């Protein structure tokens, strides 16, 4: 079964109920599960826990006239900034400073993320956040890693995320979600645990993308954004525990999320910043098509945003909801050597036009114009 179909199935189970984790463990077999438990315990011993917590990054960032932009940060230890040495090094603070610089207004950051949080705890975080800021302008959620490490039911996990996004959207807030990172990039994990962690985390990320867009948010693929650094120096992007990002790692994550936050707040007047009226560049591998297909493509390219789209005024087509895939971060991220998921899985569509060489200039030297062709994502052209 291709990842697009798995993502759609998990998202549907989140609505109608069903256990994905139990089926996955059943297919694995008792012997394989026993091996994984042993390897997981060994990995826990290797991965240290030298941090007592995360810096308090709540407060106002930037300067300028007018009321501060109201910014919420929710999620797990990555959203909280565990591994950062100072408050200015967290993902929330970096995004807040970036938004302040581009808007010319101060940004008030309210960070309710909890170290070790799982998706089922997002509901409580939303309640606490809205008690402090009843009408936020934008919210960023980073969640999923602990759901994979604790082998939580994926359908239930996705359902909790979708409910959190929906609740925030009801307040009028724009919502940007950093989907589950590729845990196969974590250095201490041995094989076959590394391979399975990569597969499970990518399947969850694709299902999260489907749920987030269905709820009216924007999903940004984190993937193996930090993983390739292990090929050179694992101490650059990861902190002392070899699991949480370092300050440099948080800067890279924030750089992947900031363009989507800026677009959601409509701070730049660009045609491609409106999710419901997209103008993707086909040369960059962007396009409009069925949501599960877009979610699958995003998983394979970190920094890719997937948001809701319409074709001829319709939000849904024969294969479900339309979605736009945007490469907001065009700098290529190298694939991990030997990554089996870098290639197209059976049953999944191949790369869209221009995706294999997104940075190659066109023959005439001109930047390609905007297109809204769903065929770029395996969809049907608008009538």
For residue 59, report the phi and psi dihedrals to the nearest 5 degrees.
145, -170
Among 176, 165, 178, 156, smallest CA distance to 223 is for: 178
Average pLDDT over residues 249-276: 78
Once rounded to an integer, what is the mean pLDDT over residues 346-372?
A: 35
* Mean pLDDT, the chain, whole residue set: 74
Instruction: Say if strands 59-61 and 107-111 run parallel, antiparallel, or are unpaired.
Output: antiparallel
| pLDDT at residue 368 tops 60 | no
Mean pLDDT score, 346-369: 35
pLDDT at 319: 77
* Helix H or strand E encompassing 264: helix 247-264
Q: Is the pTM of this model over 0.95?
A: no
Which residue, among 224, 199, 186, 219, has the nearest Cα to 301 in the 3D structure? 224
Lowest mean pLDDT among 93-107, 134-148, 244-258, 368-382: 368-382
Comparing 153-162, 230-239, 291-300, 324-333, the range with the smallest average pLDDT is 230-239
**Taking the alpha carbons of 290, 369, 283, 274 in that order, is the dihedral positive or negative?**
negative
Alpha helices by DSSP H, 47-121: 77-80, 91-103
Q: Which residue bears the tokens 């339309």?
A: 322
Instruction: With cut-offs at 50, 70 and 90, classify the pLDDT of residue 270.
Output: low
Residue of 147, 155, 229, 244 marked catalytic? 244
Q: Where are the domains of the chain?
A: 3-377
Q: How does DSSP assign 200-234, residue by residue?
A: HHHHHHHHHHHHHHHTT-EEE--BTSSGGGGGT-H
Asked if the model's pLDDT at residue 208 lies above 60, the reply is: yes
Q: Can you say how many angstroms the Cα of residue 273 is from the centroid of all Cα atoms in its chain? A: 18
Active site residue 77: yes
The phi, psi pair for 168, rounded to 5°, reads -65, -40
Residue 295 has what pLDDT?
Answer: 93
C-alpha to C-alpha distances, 179 to 37, 207, 253, 303, 346, nearest whole angstrom: 25, 9, 11, 10, 23
- Give the strand pairing for 138-142 and 174-178: parallel
Asked whether residue 104 carries a pLDDT value surpassing 90, the answer given is yes
pLDDT at 370 over 50: no
Residue 219: strand pairing partners: 177, 306
* Residue 19, both tokens: 């256990």
Residue 136 has pLDDT above 80, yes or no: yes
103, 166, 241, 279: the catalytic one is 241
Three-class DSSP category at 172:
coil
Mean pLDDT over 170-178 rounds to 97
Q: Express each pLDDT in 219-252 by its tens digit.
A: 999 876 555 544 455 566 555 555 566 677 788 8
Report the percentage of the chain scoring pLDDT > 90: 40
Indicate the range of 17-26, 87-96, 251-260 predicted with least confidence.
17-26
Higher pLDDT, 252 or 124: 124
Q: Which fold has domain 3-377?
A: Rossmann fold (3.40.50)
Report pLDDT digits (tens) over 277-320: 456 777 667 889 899 999 999 888 888 999 999 888 888 988 78
CB atoms within 10 A of CB 42: 14
Rounded Cα gap, residues 162 and 311, in angstroms: 24
Catalytic residue among 57, 77, 260, 339: 77
- Tens-place pLDDT, residues 337-355: 444 444 443 333 343 333 3
């Amino acid at each position: 079964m291709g990842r697009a179909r798995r993502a759609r199935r998990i998202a549907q189970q989140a609505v109608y109920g069903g256990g994905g984790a139990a089926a996955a463990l059943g297919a694995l077999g008792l012997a394989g599960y026993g091996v994984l438990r042993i390897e997981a315990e060994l990995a826990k011993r290797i991965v240290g826990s030298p941090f007592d917590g995360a810096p308090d990054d709540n407060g106002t960032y930037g300067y300028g006239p007018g009321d501060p932009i109201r910014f919420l940060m929710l999620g797990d230890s990555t959203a909280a900034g565990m591994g950062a040495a100072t408050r200015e090094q967290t993902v929330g603070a970096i995004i807040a400073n970036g938004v302040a610089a581009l808007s010319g207004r101060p940004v008030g950051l309210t960070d309710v993320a909890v170290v070790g949080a799982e998706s089922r705890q997002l509901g409580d975080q939303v309640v606490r956040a809205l008690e402090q800021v009843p009408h936020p302008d934008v919210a960023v959620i980073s969640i999923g890693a602990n759901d994979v490490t604790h082998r939580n039911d994926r359908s239930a996990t996705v359902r909790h995320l979708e409910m959190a996004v929906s609740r925030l959207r009801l307040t009028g807030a724009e919502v940007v979600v950093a989907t589950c990172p590729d845990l196969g990039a974590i250095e201490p994990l041995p094989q076959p645990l590394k391979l399975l962690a990569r597969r499970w985390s990518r399947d969850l990320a694709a299902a999260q993308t489907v749920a987030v867009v269905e709820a009216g948010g924007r999903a940004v693929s984190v993937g193996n954004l930090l993983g390739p650094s292990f090929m050179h120096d694992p101490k650059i992007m990861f902190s002392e525990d070899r699991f949480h990002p370092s300050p440099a790692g948080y800067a890279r994550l924030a750089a992947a999320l900031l363009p989507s936050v800026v677009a959601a707040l409509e701070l730049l007047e660009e045609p491609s910043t409106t999710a419901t009226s997209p103008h993707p560049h086909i040369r960059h591998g962007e396009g409009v098509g069925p949501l599960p297909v877009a979610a699958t493509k995003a998983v394979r390219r970190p920094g890719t945003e997937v948001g809701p789209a319409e074709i001829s005024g319709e939000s849904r087509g024969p294969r479900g909801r339309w979605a736009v895939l945007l490469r907001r971060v065009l700098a290529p991220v190298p694939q991990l050597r030997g990554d089996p998921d870098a290639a197209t899985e059976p049953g999944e569509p191949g790369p869209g036009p221009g995706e294999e060489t997104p940075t190659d200039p066109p023959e005439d030297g001109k930047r390609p114009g905007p297109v809204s062709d769903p065929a770029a994502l395996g969809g049907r052209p608008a009538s």
